[in-house]
Amino acid sequence: FLSANDMNALSTGIHHIKGDDVFVNIQEAKGKTKDEAVVEYHRKMVDIQIPFSGDETYGYIPTADLPEADFDVEKDVALLPGVASQSFVTCKPGMFVIFFPQDGHAPFITDSPILRKAIFKIKA
């Protein structure tokens, strides 16, 4: 898939690689501050996130340290607004970060007005 496609040229949205077990979601979103970013986690999918259009910082907090939250089983996500990340990592375009189901993460922290990125989702 990677050798056959120009990742920067893919349209926004989901592109299936191996059904629902492996796909990439191309997203564009407004950048957020560390205070605005919302911590999220997944139970079934691993995220590999690759920023294209600018540096992206990700907040991190282990799910063991998170309070109880409503979990959307269909979307495989829990959102925890107001929860502070414990640490941060920054990726430049072309670098990547991996989040496993035990990793709470707060994406889209950037100074870029609009951030374009790929999120590869792999069934855990």
- What pLDDT was estimated at residue 91? 98
Low-confidence ranges of the chain (pLDDT < 70): none
- What pLDDT was estimated at residue 2? 87
> How many residues belong to the chain?
124
Q: How far apart are CA 105 and CA 94, in angstroms?
A: 19
Q: How far apart are CA 69 and CA 32, in angstroms?
A: 22
pTM metric for this prediction:
0.93
| 101: exposed, middle or buried (Cβ count in 10 Å: 0-12, 13-18, 19+) | middle
- Listed by start position, the domains of the chain span 14-123
Fold designation for 14-123: Jelly Rolls (2.60.120)
